[in-house]
Structure 1
Amino acid sequence: MDHKDLTIGIVFLFQTTVGILGNFSLLSCYLIQYYTKQTLKTTDLILTHMFTANSLIIFSKGLLHTMRAFGMERFINDFGCKFLLYIQRLGRSMSIGMTCFLSVFQAITISPGNSFLLGFEVKAPKHNGMYTSLCWILYMAVNMIFPLYMYTKENSKNLTYDSDLKYCSTPGYDDLGSSLYAVVIVLPEILFSVIIVWSSSSMIIILYRHKQRVQHIHSTSVSSRTSTESKATCRIMALVSTFIGFYALSSILQGCVALTYKPGWWLVNITAIISMCFPTLGPFFCEP
């Protein structure tokens, strides 16, 4: 085995192991809390969906790239490869959607009592289950477009080429496929990212104004409550900031891979490592 393949394989294996342990440990904590107390805070419920989505990304992408790095090129057939790619896209879409929902909900929660968002603060927890269920159903349906498109393209007379994953074949470039991907996947992700940045900025402003109002109040109860709210919000903001940073970088790198006919070994692997950073590190910003 090549030295660089062994090194990348160890990196992917480490990332996958840490990510799975982090996401599953927090999922277990939330599930135990739910079955013992029969209730979960809205933010915790959103986080359970986010960690589930992160686990899908780590399982699918981590498995594919780890096995490839260790030279197991034929460990999975073509159907299995496309299924893992589907799971990877589904997990990415849900992770972005839940991060957006979490950021917006937290911004609404800490908004002033006289804010126009007060009505949403009351209604949001009641519709949380419906929103997350619709997200799963919608993204499961939307991401089915691409496996079906790949199947149709491969059975046509158009030529295909082997991607750098070696055991997965990808249809050749065409305008329809690129336009479809941009409209169905890229544009909603950009929209969600803009909303995340807006809500995060709103939280910063709200916290700053709140701190200015209470800085002369010396009541222990108020100080304790303010401290608790601030810590919880800061954790969410750290999570969102990490998401935005790694997502922006991975999107740029994935764009480079998509625009390159046969991307290089380093580009493909660095892109995969960066895209797995948020699912791996995310749970460590949200300890219950």
Structure 2
Amino acid sequence: MSSLKNVLNFQAGLGVLANMFLLVSYTFIILSHRPKPTDMISCQLAFIHIVLLLTGGDIWLKEIVESLNVDNDFKCKTTFYINRVMRGLSICITCLLSVFQAVTISPSTSLLAKFKYKLKKYMTYAFLFIWSFNLLFSSHHIFYIGAFTNVSVTNQMKITKSCSLFPMNYIIKGFILTVVTSRDVFLIGVMLTMSAYTVIILFRHQRQCQHLHSLSYPRASPEKRATQTILLLVVSFVIMYWVDFIISSTAVLLWMYDLVIPSVQKFVMNAYPTITPLIQISSDNRITNMLKNTQSVYHHIFRKG
């Protein structure tokens, strides 16, 4: 178990550092350059993933909270609620990212083209709605999560070392699971629909390019690279989400958690927020150029010194 904990610590640490770097990079791009409509979404997604990784259980906040002498019940409710809100925001913002990218690259003859020049206005409303919705949607976790009391009569399901999920009525449990699944299936459906739409657009664009440049292939445009990156993020999210959903749903329905299951679930749950910034950093030329420029400046300073 100690080796598994070390793997989780390394994964979470890598994810937090990568997302912090991505957040700083996109903040600098938004303030200093002419940003793309999706930059603000990516910036917010990086922030969400930082909080998601930091509230992912006992790995990060246990020592900090205990040093502040905070009540365990309050700690469990707060960290679990924030974590679930961030998980909901992660899927919503990823969906929003795929929609906005589809609108951005849509041809002028498509129905989505009329929204292309109103993205900034719609983005603000979308953010307000998504945050409000998820803050309210995840509020039920406050009533069913608490400190583990070590009393077998209560039939608690231990989900971390100090927190447990309290028993719920089968009707309430089924209703919550149905609502959460419906929300996620709808958002994943939108993501896959937008991804299929963008693939069709890219395929048509590639055929036109091959027709115009039969002897040489043109370099991928920034829009194409950005679209390919978002498609990769969507595929990664869908895979990680369904693996996590199968594990958590099985555990909740059967009301049993093996000691290894929470750790495996954490690893799967943290995989997407960890690989997302790595994919975005490696595929965004603006960030790689910033790194190259910073490296050359430091190299010039040290050589001069």
- The TM-score, its normalising length taken from structure 2, stands at 0.81
Out of 128, 132, 143, the residue aligned to residue 133 of structure 1 is 128
One-letter amino acid of the structure 2 residue matched with residue 256 of structure 1: T
Other-structure match for 1:271:
265
Q: Output the CA distance in 2 between the equivalents of 1:263 and 1:96.
A: 25
Q: Secondary structure at the match of 1:169?
A: strand
User: Cα RMSD (Å) of the superposition?
Assistant: 2.6
Other-structure match for 1:171:
166
Aligned pair 1:189/2:160, yes or no? no
**Would you say the 8 A contact 1:12–1:66 is kept in 2?**
no
Q: Output the CA distance in 1 between the equivalents of 2:77 and 2:108.
A: 49
Aligned pair 1:241/2:235, yes or no? yes
Q: Secondary structure at the match of 1:265?
A: coil
Deviations 1:36-93 (A, max 9, x none): 34x53211111111112111210111x424678xxx9x99611101111001101100
Q: Secondary structure at the match of 2:274?
A: helix
Deviations 1:90-113 (A, max 9, x none): 110000001101111111222222
Other-structure match for 2:25:
29
Other-structure match for 1:142:
137
> Could you tell which deviates more after superposition, 260-269 or 131-140?
260-269
| Count of aligned pairs | 270
Other-structure match for 1:251:
245
One-letter amino acid of the structure 2 residue matched with residue 198 of structure 1: T
1:121 CA displacement: 2.0
**Would you say the 8 A contact 1:43–1:102 is kept in 2?**
yes
Q: In 2 relative to 1, CA 101–246 (structure 1 residues): closer, same or farther, beyond 3 Å?
A: same
> Identity percentage over the alignment?
26
Q: Aligned ranges for residues 13-24 of structure 1 at < 5 Å? A: 13-24=9-20
Aligned pair 1:87/2:76, yes or no? no
Q: Output the CA distance in 1 between the equivalents of 2:82 and 2:230.
A: 26
Deviations 1:122-148 (A, max 9, x none): 223321022112211221122123213
**Would you say the 8 A contact 2:144–2:166 is kept in 1?**
no
**Would you say the 8 A contact 1:160–1:170 is kept in 2?**
no
Aligned pair 1:286/2:286, yes or no? no
Deviating 4+ runs (over 4 angstroms): 65-68
Q: Output the CA distance in 2 between the equivalents of 1:40 and 1:229.
A: 13
- The TM-score, its normalising length taken from structure 1, stands at 0.85
One-letter amino acid of the structure 2 residue matched with residue 28 of structure 1: V
Q: In 2 relative to 1, CA 186–65 (structure 1 residues): closer, same or farther, beyond 3 Å?
A: farther
Q: Output the CA distance in 1 between the equivalents of 2:235 and 2:127.
A: 22
**Would you say the 8 A contact 1:105–1:124 is kept in 2?**
yes
Q: Aligned ranges for residues 209-228 of structure 1 at < 5 Å? A: 209-218=204-213, 223=218, 227-228=221-222
Aligned pair 1:54/2:54, yes or no? no
**Would you say the 8 A contact 2:98–2:191 is kept in 1?**
yes
**Would you say the 8 A contact 1:53–1:91 is kept in 2?**
yes
1:279 CA displacement: 0.7
Deviations 1:184-226 (A, max 9, x none): 422111110111111111111111111111213249xx945x5
One-letter amino acid of the structure 2 residue matched with residue 282 of structure 1: T
Other-structure match for 1:102:
97
One-letter amino acid of the structure 2 residue matched with residue 9 of structure 1: K
Q: Output the CA distance in 2 between the equivalents of 1:32 and 1:105.
A: 21
One-letter amino acid of the structure 1 residue matched with residue 139 of structure 2: M
Q: In 2 relative to 1, CA 180–56 (structure 1 residues): closer, same or farther, beyond 3 Å?
A: farther
Deviations 1:147-192 (A, max 9, x none): 13557xx9xxx93425142311321142243134224422111110
Q: Output the CA distance in 2 between the equivalents of 1:160 and 1:263.
A: 12
Q: Output the CA distance in 1 between the equivalents of 2:202 and 2:76.
A: 46
